[in-house]
Each structure stands twice: as C-alpha cells, then as structure tokens.
Structure 1
Amino acid sequence: MTKFTDLNLSPKVLKAIEEAGYETPTPIQAGAIPPALEGQDVLGIAQTGTGKTASFTLPMITLLARGRARARMPRSLVLCPTRELAAQVAENFDTYAKHVKLTKALLIGGVSFNEQDKLIDKGVDVLIATPGRLLDHFERGKLILSDVKIMVVDEADRMLDMGFIPDIERIFGLTPFTRQTLFFSATMAPEIERITNTFLSAPARIEVARQATTSENITQGVVMFKGSRKDREATEKRAVLRGLIDAEGDKCKNAIIFCNRKTDVDIVAKSLKKYGYDAAPIHGDLDQSHRTRTLDQFRSGDLRFLVASDVAARGLDVPSVSHVFNFDVPSHAEDYVHRIGRTGRAGREGSAMMICVPRDEKNLADIERLVQKEIPRIDNPVASAAPVEDEADGETRETRKSSGRSRSSSRKSAPRGETEATAAAPEAPAPEKSSGNRERGERGDRERGERGERNRGRGERGDRDRDNNKVVGMGDHMPSFIALSFEERRAS
C-alpha cells in the first residue's frame, strides 16, 4: 500500500501531514502527486470527497519551498469557483505549509480591496482567488501574472456551470505559456475537454472513478410526491422534508438541505426554524461574513441543518455530514453527484434523500441516466390524509373549506343587495301628491292601468299555454323550478 512517505514530498510537508493525522493517500492523491512533482501537467478526474485539494496543495508547497515572490507577482495561482471553496483551499495551505515559509493571499468577493492589495504588494507565493475578483485586481493594475509558475483550476465543471469559462480562458492568456497546469474536475463536459486540449500540454490523466459516479457507501432514496393542490404543493413538500428528517431520528446527526433557488433556501430555513429545527440558510446573496459564520457553526456542530443553494455543493469539506436532503431535484444532473458527495466522505457511511414532484421527473431521469442506476423509491413519511398546516397562519385545509362554506351560506341566506337592517325596516308611507302634480298623476294612473290590462291579457295567454304544456325550448317537459318562478310571479 502506498504511503505519503513514498511520494517524494519534502520532509517539512511530510511532518505537517503526519501532524494532521494522515498516513495513506487517496487514489487521486497517489496518482496526481508524483507527476505534479516532476513538473508535468495533470488532469485529475475524480468524484467529490476524494481528496482532490491535497492532490495539488502538497506538491505545490514542495515545489515552492525554494524561491521568493516579488511584489504584485504571485508565483502560483489557484482558481476556485466559490468563495467557500477558495477559503477551504487556503485552510489546506495553512495546515500543510505550517513548517514552510510561504506567503499566501485570498482574493474573494465580499472582502475589502484594500486589505487584499496590501498582501499583494508585499508579494505572495500562493494566490488563491475566484475568477471575478482576480480580474478586478488585474484591471485595477494591482496584479501582474507574468511570473506564475504553477496554475491550478479546481472544480472546473462547476466553473462551467457558473459561466466562468470565458474568464478562465482570459486568465490562461495572462499567464506564461511555460507554466505548469494542474486541472481538476469531477466530470468532463465537452467544453471542459476543449479547454484541457487547448491549454494543457501532454497532461498526465488520472481518473480514479468513472465520471459522475456516486460513492457506494451513500444510501440513496427518492420520494415521489404530488401535492393535493397546486397552491398547497410547497407547504406540503416542506412537511415531507420534516417527515424524512423525523423518520431518520438519531441517525440524522446533521444534514445539508439543498434547494435550487435562493428564495427557497430562505423559506425552507425559516420553516424549519418555526417547527423547532436548528437550521440556517447559506447562499450567494448573503454577505461573506454571514456565510463564513454559518459554515463555522455547521462545522463545529453548533448548527444541525444547513440549508444551501449549489454555492455549497462543491468542494466544501465537512467530514462528518451524516445526511443530504435534496429538497429540489437539481436541474443539472451533475449537481446531484456533487450534492450527495457532501456526505459519506473519507469512507464514512452517508444517506442522501430527495423529493421529486411531477414536473421534476425529467430531471430525475437525467440523473439516473448519468449515474447509470435507478435511485430507490421510498415511501412518503407524511400520511396523505392528514391535514397540513398552512405555515403562514396555522390554518388547515379543512378549516378553510368549512369557513368558506359558512361564509358562502351566510351570503346566500339574505336576498341579494338587501341587508338585515334593510329587511327589518318598515315600509315608509308614500308622500302625498301636491295639487300642481295631480293632473299629471291622474294621467299616469290611466296609462299604468292600460299597461296593467295588457299585461293581464298576456298573463292569461301564458296560463293557457302552460295548461297545454307547450313551453318553447323545453320539449314536452318543463323543469319544476321554472314553473315555480312563473307561479310566484303570477301570484304577485
């Protein structure tokens, strides 16, 4: 069995690895470190949670141990898709470079430019950055990339999903052609393969698992759920999530809950907190200090449930996550692999559960096609007949239905346009006509009398027609309710 001592790493790096408690490298580390130490380009393909970060940090520290950085000219560059992953890479450098005098700078959004400029001005050996913030510093004239000797692209497929590929290509053009490139990805989309063919020179390809496979020690399941009504689907879906958590009981020590949209992240986190679950949201719209504080609480065990968008799906190393819940089926099949890769890390057992509504069944089929196996169906933990509380006001469907019936019946009980006060009021006597209007009144009375005679004549003809059961448009039979209305009118 290969050990870290067999990989030609520097003694100071080996000492840091031993102090961190590691002895045996993972397959991607054992495959990538030797060619990286020889100065060869590396293309590493491995599923998340396999230790890709150490695959490039350890050889970089060994190679950079000799030499000194100049102001504004970093000697190495690590590109990461998200702030959290960049911060995690920086932590890895701190862990493994504790016995080596190397300087580093972390360039991410949500942090003051001034503090980052001060570090760059002093000169850094390792520059860890997100593409956007790196180009911001370059365009401000604060950064020169012509002295980069080692360039790392981490989670390249996530870069593709987030639209960073044009920025990556531009950054490649700003670095020397003679640089060494270490390129890591979990999947190899056609666009990623095009970039590797363009910017990597005869790379050593290390593929330790079939592309887009899920770990065998993760128990997977999906609940096929359909809401009782369209306007109740989201509320009932949150009830299913709580049912899944409760069904796991003590086995669910902590969990990451993934949603597709940032608004849903906030809603689900608020709902869980309302029902007594220890939960907090994390997504791209939160400021960096808030995100960092939430992640630290989750890592330390002070927070049980982390509700996240895909900003947390890639590269976050929290070794002891027991469960992953996909509140939404991811729209990109590759994201499923990365999401559930947050659990079952370093050989541990993990569980991944997903809720699928009818409109997401196509995405579910894409996931099963990608991972080349069917995800087991599990029963809905929430009884379909049980009323689901409306989280806005605590009102159940049955309560609304009954109150709706009572309101409608109360409206029907009174004549249209007539209130109780109007119905109970006595009829006011008609005012007596003045002498000036008497003549016009008598003429009106005669006209009304003539109209009354004509109406009575039509009424008698109508009575004869009804007696002969000849009703136009009704055939030989007339519904009783129509006859009733005629009788009431004739009586009046």
Structure 2
Amino acid sequence: MTKFSDLKLDPKVLQAIAEAGYETPTPIQAGAIPPALEGRDVLGIAQTGTGKTASFTLPMITLLGRGRARARMPRSLVLAPTRELAAQVAENFDVYSKHTKLTKALLIGGVSFTEQDKLIDRGVDVLIATPGRLLDHFERGKLLLTGVQIMVVDEADRMLDMGFIPDIERIFSLTPFTRQTLFYSATMAPEIERITNAFLHTPARIEVARQATTSETIEQRLIELTPTRKDQTAKQKRELLRAVIAAEGEACTNAILFCNRKTEVDILAKSLKTHGLNAAPIHGDLDQSQRMKTLDGFRDGSVRFLVASDVAARGLDIPAVSHVFNFDVPSHAEDYVHRIGRTGRAGRKGVAVTIATPADQKYLDAIEHLVKAKLPRVDAPEGFTLSEAAQRPPRKDDDKGKSRGRDRGSRDDRRSRPIKPHGEEAPLEPVSPSVTAATTAPAEETPRPDRQERREDRRDDKKSERKPERRRDEDRRDRGGRDEPVVGMGDHVPDFLMRGLKTEKV
C-alpha cells in the first residue's frame, strides 16, 4: 500500500502530514501527486470528500519550496467557487506548510480591500481567491498574474453552475502560457471538457470514481409527501422534517439541511428554533463574518442543525456530519451528489433523507438517471399526522392579493385592519356608515340607457357653461383691466391686487 513517504514530497511537508495524523493517501492523492511533482498538468475527476484539496496543496508546497515571492506577483494561484471553500483551502495550506516559510493571501468577498492589498504588496507564494474578488484586485491595478507558476481550479463544475466560466477563461488568459495547471471537477460537463481541452496540455487524467456516483457509506432515503393543500406545502414539509428528526433520536448528532432558496433557508431555520431545535442559517446573502461564525459553531458542536443553500453543498470539510436532509429536491441533479456527500466522509457511515412532493418528480427522474440507481422509498415516521393548522388555509387571505387594484372595498378593509406580528390579523375597527356605503356599493358593468343619456346631457351642460366664462375672460384681457373687484380675501386685500394691468397699444 502506498504511503505519503513514497510520494517524494518535501520532508517538511511529510512532517506536517504526520503531525496531522495522516499516513496513507487517498486514491485521488496517490494518483495526482506524482505527476504534479513532475510538473505535468493534472485533470482530477473525483466526487466530493475524497481528499482533493491535499492532492494539490501538498505538491504545490513542495514545488514552491525554492524561490521567493515578489510584490504583487503571486507564484501560485488557487481558484475556488465560494468563500467557504477558499477559506478551507487556506486552512489546509496553513496545516501542511507550517514548517516552511511560504506565505499566502486569501482574497474573498466580505473582507476589506485594504487588508488584502497589504498582503499582496508584501508578496505571497500562494494566492487563494474567488474569481470575482481576484478580478476586482486585478482591475484596480493591485495585482499581476504574470508570475504564476502553478494554477489550480477547484470544483470546476460548481464554477460552471455559478456562471464563473467566463471569468475563469479570462484569468487563464492573464497567466503565463508556461504555467502548470491542476484542474479538479466532480463531473465533466461539455463546457468543462471544452476548457480542459483549451487550457491544459496533455494532462494526467486521474479518475478515482465513476462520474457523479454517491458514496457506498451513505444510506439514502426518499420520503414522498402528497400535500393536502398546495398553499400549505412548505408548512407540511416542515412538520414531516421535524418528525423525521425526532424519529432519528440520538443517532442524529448533527445535520445539514438543504433548501433551494435563500428565503426558505431563513424560514426553516426560524421554524426549527421555534420548536426548540438548535439551528442556524447559512447562505450567500449573509455577511462573511456571520457565515464563518455559523460554520465554526457547527464544527465545534454549538450549532446542531445547519440550514444551508447550495453555497455549503461543495468542498466544506466537516467530517463528522451524521445526517443530510434535503428539505427541497435540488433542481440540478449534480447538486444531489454534492449535498449528500457532506455525510459519510472518511469512511464514516451517514444518512441522507430527501423529502419530495409530486411536483418534484422531474427532478427525481434526473437524479436517478444521473446516479444510475433508484432512490430507496421509505414511509413517514410511524404515527406521523399533519396538524390541523397545516391543513387549514394560510392565515393571510389569498383573496386580498387577487383583488388588489380592482376591489376598492378590500383596500379600505386593509387600511382599517392593523396587522399583528406573525401575520395574525386584529379585529376590524368600526367604519362609519357613509364610508361603508361608498366602498361597498356594487359596481355596474353595463350602465342603463337612461343613465347614459343623463350623463351625456350633464357633459353638454358643463361644456356650455364653460364657453361663456372663456369669452368673458378673453373680453376682460382685451379691455386691459378688471371690470369686477377681487373677491374672497376679506378686508385686507393689498392695493396692487385691486389694480388692473395696463397694456400698451402698439
């Protein structure tokens, strides 16, 4: 069996690996490290949780052992799709390079440009960044990429999903043609394959598992729920989720719960807290400091349930996650593989539970086609029943939104009905009879002929009344003065207002 000592790594790197408690490399590490040390390009295809980060960090530290960094010109570049993954790569670099003098800088959003500029100005050996923040620094003239010797693209398929491929292609064009490229992806979409053909030169291809396969250490379950009311689907799913968590008992030491939308993440986290479960949300709209604080709390056990969007689906190294719950079926089949890959890591057992409704059938079909297996169906926990509140109409009356702009009475009702917290409506305030009569009078779609005639007569009368007034005004202007005193300002009318305007005759 291959050991790290057989891979020709720097002795200082081997010392750090031994202190971290590792002896045997994973398949992706054993396959990628030797060609990387030879200076070859590497194309690594492996599912999440297989040790890809160390497979490029270890040879990078060894290769960069000789040489010095220059100001604003990093010697190597690591691109990651999310802030969390970039921060995790930086942590791994710190662990494995602690016996060397290599320096690093982390460029991610949510952090001051000034502090990052100071690090770059000093010169760094390893620059770890998200594509957007890296290009921000470059366009501000604070960074040069002409000195990059090694370039790493991590989670390339996630880059594709997030729309970073144009940025990646631009960054490739800014780096030297002679660079060494280490390219990692869990799946090989046609767009990813096009990039590898364009920017990698005869790469060593290391594929340690069939593309888009799930780990055998993960027990997968699918619970199908048919909502009794379409407008209460989310509430009924939350009740089922709590029942599943309760049924798991102590076996569920911690869990990541995935939602498709950021708003749903916040709602689910708040609901779990309300029912006494220790939960915290994490998604892209939160401040970076808050996201890191939440992740640290989940790692140290102070947060039991991490409610996340797909920002946390890939690359996060949290080895001891016992369960993953898909509150929403992912709309992209590849995301299912990466979500459930958060559990069952490093040989541990894990459980992945997905809640699906009939509306999710097309997404389930895509997932089962991708993983080439039928997801095991299981029943809801024994004794689970929906509450009466989940089967009643929502507290907010849907008719109000539908009648907006058409029913004047409903607007007046909303104006006179104060709203209490949590959507509970207070009793209506008394409304005067005159207002009620004016707002509740039924509208007639087709006016009666006699009323139509009277309306036309009134319009004609008004026109005839306006014409004499216009004539009088025109005559008065022609005379150059007023023939009537100003009326309506009492006894204190200024003299100049009583005087007529004199016009000069030409």
Q: Counterpart of 2:36?
A: 36
TM-score, normalization by structure 1 = 0.79
User: Secondary structure in 2 aligned to 1:152?
Assistant: strand
Query: Is residue 397 from structure 1 mapped to residue 392 from structure 2 by the alignment?
Result: yes
| CA distance in structure 1 between the partners assigned to 2:245 and 2:157 by the alignment | 31
Partner of 2:353: helix, strand, or coil?
strand
Matching residue's letter, 2:360 = D
Q: Distance in 1 between matches of 2:157 and 2:254?
A: 27
Q: Counterpart of 1:361 in structure 2: which amino acid?
A: Q
Instruction: After TM superposition, give the deviation of residue 381 of structure 1 in Å.
Output: 2.3
Offset of 1:73 from its aligned partner? 0.1
Supply the RMSD in Å over aligned alpha carbons: 1.5
The aligned counterpart of 2:248 is 248
Matched residues in 2 for 1:131 and 1:399: separation? 43
1:47, 1:286 → 2: CA distance?
A: 28
CA separation of 1:382/1:108 partners in 2, compared to 1, >3 Å: closer, same or farther? Answer: farther
Q: Return closer, same or farther for 1:67/1:233 CA change in 2, 3 Å cut-off.
A: same
Hey, what's the Cα distance between the residues in 2 that align with 1:201 and 1:374?
A: 39
**For residue 379 of structure 1, what is the aligned residue in structure 2?**
379
State the secondary structure of the residue aligned to 1:346.
coil
Q: Deviations over 1:441-482 (max 9, x none)?
A: xxxxxxxxxxxxxxxxxxxxxxxxxxxxxxxxxxxxxxxxxx
> What is the CA–CA distance in structure 1 between the aligned matches of 2:164 and 2:363, rounded to whole Å?
24
For the 8 Å contact 2:231–2:393, the answer to whether it is kept is no
Deviation at 1:274, TM superposition (A): 0.3
Aligned to 1:8: 8
SS for the counterpart of 2:377 is coil
Q: Indicate how the Cα distance of structure 1 residues 377 and 72 shifts in structure 2: closer, same or farther if over 3 A, else same.
A: same
Alignment-derived partner of residue 100 in structure 1: 100
Aligned to 1:188: 188
Aligned with 1:226: secondary structure?
Answer: coil
Runs of 5+ unmatched residues, structure 2: 396-506
Specify the alignment match of 1:346 in structure 2.
346
| Structure 2 residue aligned with 1:437 | none
Alignment partners' CA distance in 1, 2:388 and 2:180: 58
Percent identity reads 77
Q: Deviations over 1:44-89 (max 9, x none)?
A: 0000000000000000000001100000000000000000000000
Count how many residue pairs are aligned between Structure 1 and Structure 2.
396
Q: Deviations over 1:381-430 (max 9, x none)?
A: 2756542445xxxxx73999xxxxxxxxxxxxxxxxxxxxxxxxxxxxxx
Q: Which residue of 1 aligns with 2:134?
A: 134
Partner letter of residue 397 of structure 1?
A: R
Q: Is the 8 A contact 1:3 1:25 kept in 2?
A: yes
Match of residue 474 from structure 2: none
AA at the equivalent of 2:201:
S
**Offset from partner CA, 1:7-61 (integer Å, 9 cap, x none):** 0001000000000000000000000000000000000000000000000000000
**Residue 147 of structure 1 corresponds to which residue in structure 2?**
147
- What CA distance in whole angstroms lies between the structure 2 residues aligned with 1:121 and 1:363? 48
Query: Aligned partner of 2:347: which letter?
Result: G
**Who is 2:336 aligned against?**
336
What is aligned with 2:408? none
Q: In structure 2, do the counterparts of structure 1 residues 75 and 236 end up closer, same or farther at CA, with 3 Å as the change threshold? A: same
Letter of the aligned partner of 2:292 in structure 1?
A: T
- How do 1:79-478 residues align onto structure 2 when only pairs under 5 Å count? 79-381=79-381, 383=383, 385-389=385-389, 397=392
| Counterpart code for 2:221 | G
Q: Which runs of 4+ in 1 moved over 6 A?
A: none
Unaligned 5+ segments in structure 1 are: 391-395, 401-492
Mapped to 2, the partners of 1:32 and 1:335 lie a distance apart of 25
2:76: which partner in 1?
Answer: 76
Hey, what's the Cα distance between the residues in 2 that align with 1:157 and 1:269?
Answer: 28
Distance 1:399 1:269, change over 3 A: closer
What amino acid maps onto 1:108 in structure 2? I
- Letter of the 1:51 counterpart: G
Counterpart CA distance in 2 for 1:58 and 1:44 is 15
1:479 matched residue in structure 2:
none
Change (3 A) 1:381 1:258: same
Structure 2: which amino acid aligns with 1:215? S
- 1:399–1:62 Cα change, 3 Å: closer
Aligned amino acid, residue 380 of structure 2: N
User: Cα gap change, 1:372/1:119 in structure 2, threshold over 3 Å: closer, same or farther?
Assistant: same
CA distance in 1 between partners of 2:8 and 2:389 (Å): 62
Aligned to 1:445: none
Q: Deviations over 1:170-208 (max 9, x none)?
A: 000000000000000000000000000000000000000
- 1:459 is aligned to none
Contact 1:236 1:388 in 2 (8 A): no
Q: Contact (CA 8 Å) 1:387, 1:398: kept in 2 or not?
A: no
Over 3 Å counting, the alpha-carbon distance change for 1:178 and 1:256 in structure 2 is same
Conserved 8 A contact 2:232-2:393: no
Q: Is the 8 A contact 1:117 1:142 kept in 2?
A: yes
Which entry has the higher C-alpha Rg, 1 or 2? Answer: 1
Q: In structure 1, give the amino acid aligned to 2:51.
A: G
- Aligned partners of 1:70 and 1:123 also within 8 Å: yes
SS for the counterpart of 1:116 is helix
Per the TM alignment, residue 243 of structure 1 is displaced from its structure 2 partner at its CA by 1.1
Q: Is the 8 A contact 1:81 1:130 kept in 2?
A: yes
Q: Is the 8 A contact 1:213 1:371 kept in 2?
A: yes
| 1:161 CA drift (Å) | 0.2
Q: Is the 8 A contact 1:387 1:397 kept in 2?
A: no
Instruction: Note closer, same or farther for the CA distance 1:118–1:360 as it changes in structure 2 (3 Å cut).
Output: same
